[in-house]
Structure 1
Amino acid sequence: MTPNDSPDRVAVLVADDEEAPRQQLIAALRQAWPAARIVAEATNGVDAWDAFLEHEPQVCFLDIRMPGLSGIEVAQRIDGRVPVVFVTAFGDHALAAFDAGAVDYVMKPVDAARLGQALQRVQTRLDRPAAPDLSALLAQLSGQLRKPAPPAVIQASVGKEVKLIRIEQIVYFESDARYTRVAYDDEAGPGEALIRTPLKELLAQLDADQFWQVHRSVIVNHRHIASALRIDEGTMVLTLRGRSERLPVSRHFQGLFKGQ
């Protein structure tokens, strides 16, 4: 079956920080793959990841070099759940991903014939959704992209005080409509503070090996997790060391706690 023969519409996310290449890719997709339904566009990696969680696309086209999170870092968070096609002007990264077995890549500006080949491979993945393990490759490629060091402290408001919270003291971040709550443990004991930085922006700054996103509104320092408790088939919560809160784990992130 070719992409054009697909009987169902396929939800697609397109992320590229450059307007003209992004629109050119979308136009090419609509021409080459009528079954494609563009459910979200993103102009940076942070918004691309947020859009992935919100819209649950079946295929993602990700520019490799984007502000905030790179396309490779977004692909690492997607973790094989859906096919990813890298969009790039840098042949070194694209060819390495292709040779190692990534779904595929397209170069800017998009060539119709090359896009058609990529879509054939995407359709194969959709028909047989056994995801290749690309974790080692993505880690290698991510290391080639320069990224600022994670912050050592977070400045947060506690009443009229601006408190400097060392990053290792933070237990979790939880966002609401206006603020992000910072739960921490320091020498004085457990505490809470507020910052204005949205959770999705924090994701691009924090060390992903230490801080795990477990819900669209929650990032937790995994060193403070005591256990993951499955309530029922679709519901999981985290318990924390020395704290009474229970943090929700959404379906996307329950794979972090598979057990042995």
Structure 2
Amino acid sequence: MEALLIDDEPLALRRLASLLSQYPADVRVVGQAANGQEGLAMVRALRPDVIFLDIEMPLLNGFELLAQLEEMPSVVFTTAYDHYAVQAFEQRSIDYLLKPIESARLAKTIARLRRTRQEQAAGLNLDDLGQFLQHLKPAETLRSLSVKSGDKILLLSLSDISYFESQERYVFVRTVQGQQHLTNYTIAALEEKLPAQFVRISRSCIVNTLHINNLQRYFGGKFLVTLTDRAASCLETGTAYGTNLKRLMEL
């Protein structure tokens, strides 16, 4: 089987590649990707039989990567997950590896992949996988956010966050005090993990509704959202998100 490894942790990639080298008759590593976006391009180009896939990654997380694939290889997640997800993985022809990966556990994965390949049942189609992934999304929400600031790691309270905004490949968090920090989350991942007070108002922006000062009707069914932060930030809603924002604010 040709395998592609996708993980944003270099040490995890090296360890997995080293462990897989013990199975030359079963697996040949054809590539390694350091983030979801790179991984997506490599899956499309190399068409591997199996991908060993991390979930929390910059640019695209594992779920977002899989959702964009036209042809689905066999998938082995390499991540820590809750017990419900672990049980779900065990019941399907898709596996998981708990980090740090242990040699004995990897041996079971290789045996499973070998068996499913022999049965010509390796992987899932897009419809089956999409339904399956809905049950695996983390249920817990963020309670705070850690960001890097020079040599320090700051722990931001969600109440101090004004909004999140994506710019090209990066997502920034803006605080009420006017500070800006780079995050490792995608907008889609934040939308899933943040509590209900945070609302996505456009493809590139999520606002903390507790800091909304006013909304002004804009052309094309859009709104301008002014916040109470120090910068009095004014954000434009996307057409597809205006209705949801109006409903939430009971306009």
* TM-score where L is the length of structure 1: 0.49
2:37 partner amino acid: V
- Whole-angstrom CA distance in 2 between matches of 1:42 and 1:52: 9
From 32, 41, 45, give the equivalent of 1:50.
41
Consecutive aligned runs of 4 or more in structure 1 exceeding 6 Å deviation: none
From 133, 136, 155, give the equivalent of 1:138.
133
Q: Over the residues paired in the alignment, what is the CA RMSD in angstroms?
A: 3.0
**Counterpart for residue 107 of structure 2:** 116
- Whole-angstrom CA distance in 2 between matches of 1:14 and 1:99: 21
C-alpha deviation, 1:69, in angstroms: 1.7
- Whole-angstrom CA distance in 1 between matches of 2:56 and 2:83: 13
From 103, 111, 117, give the equivalent of 1:126.
117
- Whole-angstrom CA distance in 2 between matches of 1:107 and 1:76: 22
SS of corresponding position for 1:38:
strand
**Counterpart for residue 29 of structure 2:** 38
Where do 1:17-166 residues align within 5 Å? Answer: 17-78=8-69, 81-92=72-83, 94-130=85-121, 131-132=123-124, 133-142=128-137, 144=139, 146-148=189-191, 149=200, 151-152=202-203
Over 3 Å counting, the alpha-carbon distance change for 1:81 and 1:150 in structure 2 is farther
- Whole-angstrom CA distance in 2 between matches of 1:147 and 1:24: 29
- Whole-angstrom CA distance in 1 between matches of 2:57 and 2:66: 12
Among all aligned residue pairs of Structure 1 and Structure 2, give the percentage whose two residues are the same amino acid: 30
SS of corresponding position for 2:131:
helix
Larger Rg: 2
- The structure whose residues are more often strand, as a share, is 1
**Does the 8 Å CA contact 2:37/2:60 hold for their aligned counterparts?**
yes
Over 3 Å counting, the alpha-carbon distance change for 1:122 and 1:79 in structure 2 is farther
* TM-score where L is the length of structure 2: 0.51
Runs of at least 5 residues in structure 2 that lack an aligned partner in the other structure:
140-187, 192-199, 205-219, 223-239, 241-251
- Whole-angstrom CA distance in 1 between matches of 2:66 and 2:203: 26
**Does the 8 Å CA contact 1:97/1:104 hold for their aligned counterparts?**
no
Over 3 Å counting, the alpha-carbon distance change for 1:23 and 1:123 in structure 2 is same
SS of corresponding position for 2:63:
helix
**Does the 8 Å CA contact 2:47/2:73 hold for their aligned counterparts?**
no
C-alpha deviation, 1:33, in angstroms: 4.2
C-alpha deviation, 1:138, in angstroms: 0.7
